[in-house]
Amino acid sequence: MAFMTLASLGELPEGGQLRVDLEDRTLLLVHLDGTIYAIDYHCTHDELGLEGGDLHNGCITCPYHGAEFRLSDGEVLAPPAWEPLQTYTVTVSEQLIQVDIPQ
């Protein structure tokens, strides 16, 4: 486990989305209904960005072709994607968003 601080809570208000570029991957942080989620930035359908996708019922809808992913575990709930999205464990400590990035 290697938790990295990626943002502060102040940067990610309720309903917000934040792109984070790391050395070897790009993540999207999402704040929905009081929970912070960390998912891969790129959709598993066509590798386009999920940023700006509609958020509802714990899910994000890809803005390009409408695939829907569950934020908690990346499961695909609507096509055309069929591969799940990578998700990451998040903790919030002293207003800092920390994400477990596999080494």
Which residues of this protein are in contact with ligand FES, per CB under 6 A?
Answer: 43, 45-46, 48, 62, 64-67, 80-81
Q: How far is the CB of 61 from ligand FES (least distance, A)?
A: 9
Pick between residue 7 and residue 43 the one whose CB is nearest to ligand FES: 43
Helix runs in 1-103, H state only: none
Residues composing the chain = 103
Cα–Cα dist 20/49, whole Å: 12
Say if residue 5 is exposed, middle or buried (CB neighbours under 10 Å; 0-12, 13-18, 19+): exposed
3-state class (DSSP) for residue 47: coil
Pick between residue 58 and residue 80 the one whose CB is nearest to ligand FES: 80
Q: How far is the CB of 93 from ligand FES (least distance, A)?
A: 32
3-state class (DSSP) for residue 9: helix
Pick between residue 48 and residue 96 the one whose CB is nearest to ligand FES: 48
Pick between residue 38 and residue 43 the one whose CB is nearest to ligand FES: 43
Q: How far is the CB of 90 from ligand FES (least distance, A)?
A: 22
